[in-house]
Amino acid sequence: MTERIDGEAVAADIRESLTGSIEALREEGVEPGLATVLMSDDPASETYVSMKQRDCKEVGIDGLHVEIDTDAPPAELYDTIEDLNNDPHVHGILVQMPLVDGIDERRVLRSIDPMKDVDGFHPENVGRLVAGNDRYRPCTPHGVQKLLEAYDIETEGADAVVVGRSNIVGKPLANLLFRKADDGNATVTVCHSRTEALAEKTRTADILVAAAGIPELIDAGMVAEGATVIDVGVNRVDVPNRRSEDSRAESAEADTERGYELVGDVAYEDVSEIAGAITPVPGGVGPMTRAMLLYNTVKAAGLQNDIDVTLP
């Protein structure tokens, strides 16, 4: 029987535990605060930021949102980040990517105080992660690790294949999976757009992570019997063009209204027949990414105030 990995449920447990950690911080006089910065007209980015703010409210993190006009000079963004770096009530800063054209995203990431870099993308935090001495693990890879842990999926000695080598998902996740640690110790193959014979590689995986951003790239023929399949992909597909008529009928009405549906990088219905465990989209990795942002914010508030917080 294929196990459906329920990211909503695991994320809810993490949020629940975090409310306790937040309460403990409050008792020490610290109100954890997260600032989100948006400089983009992209509707998906607007949605992501508002969901992050909603999550903060739900667990009791102080949410501050700064929106910068897309016509504003880059200096306005850097000044905003500087102000947030210096604001003691803000423990985490998240600049929603992608930014408008013409802004140097690497420079933006470098300008965030690494102690407040709850995305974990500042070069200092990337370096620490690679060196096995992480401060903030990037939210999506960390969320994947927490899902594996919640479902007792052993990484030690496993053959893991990660499809995608981006800085935000593939690279950090590969690093976390192969590093010498209880939640690592896998043998990792990283695939990308120039990989030849992709299916041959993915079929070797005990744990297959799809993070390519290509709707239903991974089909049943690319998966070994009993493998754990983690689908990081979130792709908007126009409803009239969708590839598979699946049974998730409850979301179909909303999809039609929006004009698109969200599809993963894995052909869920077919791969479910083969996999040992699989994450759905939506409801798999997405909620975990959001929960791990809250986790990093709580951790950041503790670190910046020398308080040893218990984290889930």
Ligand X SMILES: NC(=O)c1ccc[n+]([C@@H]2O[C@H](COP(=O)([O-])OP(=O)(O)OC[C@H]3O[C@@H](n4cnc5c(N)ncnc54)[C@H](OP(=O)(O)O)[C@@H]3O)[C@@H](O)[C@H]2O)c1
Residue ranges binding ligand X (CB under 6 A):
140, 163-166, 168-170, 191-195, 198, 211-214, 217, 232-235, 285-286, 289
Please, what is the minimum distance in Å from the beta carbon of residue 42 to ligand X? 12
Assess contact for 218 and 189: CB atoms under 8 A: no
Give the integer Cα–Cα distance in Å for 3 and 119. Answer: 30
Give the integer Cα–Cα distance in Å for 184 and 171. Answer: 14
Please, what is the minimum distance in Å from the beta carbon of residue 163 to ligand X? 5
Please, what is the minimum distance in Å from the beta carbon of residue 236 to ligand X? 9
Please, what is the minimum distance in Å from the beta carbon of residue 284 to ligand X? 7
- Residue 57 falls in the annotated catalytic set: no
Nearest to 93, CA basis, from 173, 32, 168: 32
**Among 55, 117, 119, 134, the one annotated catalytic:** 119
CB nearer to ligand X: give 214 or 307. 214
Assess contact for 281 and 233: CB atoms under 8 A: yes
**Among 96, 134, 206, 265, the one annotated catalytic:** 96
Nearest to 215, CA basis, from 236, 246, 239, 193: 236
Please, what is the minimum distance in Å from the beta carbon of residue 194 to ligand X? 5
CB nearer to ligand X: give 38 or 191. 191
CB nearer to ligand X: give 122 or 165. 165
CB nearer to ligand X: give 195 or 304. 195
Nearest-10 crossing angle of helices 7-27, 139-150:
110
- Residue 119 falls in the annotated catalytic set: yes
CB nearer to ligand X: give 115 or 234. 234
Please, what is the minimum distance in Å from the beta carbon of residue 73 to ligand X? 27
CB nearer to ligand X: give 185 or 203. 203
Residues taking part in catalysis: 52, 96, 119
